[in-house]
Amino acid sequence: MRLDVLNRGYGPGTKLLFALIRLFSRHPVPDAAKLVFYRPEYYGSWAKEFTQEAMRGPSAWSVGDRELMAVFVSQANESAFCIGAHSATAEQAYQDGPKVAAVLAGLESAPVDEGLRATLGMLGKLTREGRVSAEDMRHVLSAGVARQQVEDALAVCTAFNTTNRLADAFGFEVLSSDDFQAGAKYLLKRGYR
Amino acid sequence: MPTDDKKRAAYRALEDRILNGEGRASPEQRAGAFSNAGLPPPLDGLVSKVATRPTQVTDADFAAARAAGSSEDELFELVICAAVGQSGRLYDAGLAALADAVADEEAG
């Protein structure tokens, strides 16, 4: 990563934890995980709380739907680390790799219901253009999406607009497909805390 | 009225902590990074990229900020403030458009 403190600035307990993760998982510790262990009282603890709430807290959206929103926002931001990490997580959550690939290849023809399609389209526009209109929101609501679901989707969008920026600014290392699959398994089992 | 404020409350707590809690960068610098406004060069260049075109951030942006006197911990905080600030503006824009759409439906 571009800041040396994020590569080496950890206390002995955290260094030991990273070594144990590498030893037992046989995969590297992803930079996204390292980031939240650096001075966690400043950012990591608070970010984990928000991300957990957005991605795993109560919602009418499934975990798979929210992971798909995460990767869709990441694609709009062209954030390579997050696309890799959350494609793998969405694929495992849905147990359906082709569905995730189809959404990323072209939302209009992807095999998702109209409510999710309209919501993803709105999140993509907000992320790319920085604004959405009341008309855009009426389109989502008229596709059968409840107000609370729109709010929940905006929380996912916010978590990933933050994480995408940090991944690209700090320079998170893009891992192998195998490493991303292992990380996805962890995120589905343990969440973001 | 929102029926579930927990997600927003967690986000506002994060915002408050990074802006107003103890940090190495001054509260003024953190606020400038958060709002992507009012920082001197070269910090303004780094922060602007984080906010609006993060894939274009380079090693040279960090090197320039270090050369101008920023510590690694200050840069850690300012990059986070820039990322969270921009994301929060998108969040607010989305919530405002949603509130308008719901108000129109209720009025109509």
Question: pLDDT by residue for chain A (193 residues), tens digit each?
Answer: 999 999 999 999 999 999 999 999 999 999 999 999 999 999 999 999 999 999 999 999 999 999 999 999 999 999 999 999 999 999 999 999 999 999 999 999 999 999 999 999 999 999 999 999 999 999 999 999 999 999 999 999 999 999 999 999 999 999 999 999 999 999 999 999 8
| Residues from chain B contacting residue A162 (CB–CB below 8 Å) | 83-84, 87
B108 touches chain A (CB under 8 A): no
pLDDT average, residue stretch B12-22: 97
The count of CB pairs under 8 A between chains A and B is 156
Burial of A158 (0-12, 13-18, 19+ CB in 10 A): buried
Predicted local distance difference test score (pLDDT) of residue B64: 98
Show the tokens assigned to A97: 């790799």
- Split at pLDDT 50, 70, 90, the class of B3 is very low
A58 touches chain B (CB under 8 A): yes
B18 touches chain A (CB under 8 A): yes
Question: Model ipTM?
Answer: 0.97
Residue A98's Cα: distance from chain center in Å? Answer: 19
- State the nearest Cα–Cα gap between A24 and chain B, in angstroms: 30
pLDDT average, residue stretch B23-37: 98
CB contacts under 8 A, A 110-139 vs B, are 122, 126-127, 130-138
B4 touches chain A (CB under 8 A): yes
Predicted local distance difference test score (pLDDT) of residue B23: 98
pLDDT digits 0-9 by tens, B39-62: 999 999 999 999 999 999 999 999
Q: Domain residue spans in chain B?
A: 7-107
CB atoms within 10 A of CB A98: 12
- Split at pLDDT 50, 70, 90, the class of B106 is confident
Burial of A112 (0-12, 13-18, 19+ CB in 10 A): middle
Q: A185, A170, A160, A161: which is closest to A31 by C-alpha? A: A170
Which has more pLDDT, B66 or B3?
B66
Asked whether the beta carbons of B76 and A38 are under 8 A apart, the reply is yes
- State the nearest Cα–Cα gap between A110 and chain B, in angstroms: 24
- Split at pLDDT 50, 70, 90, the class of B4 is low
pLDDT digits 0-9 by tens, B77-98: 999 999 999 999 999 999 999 9
Domains and CATH numbers, chain A: 11-190 (1.20.1290.10)
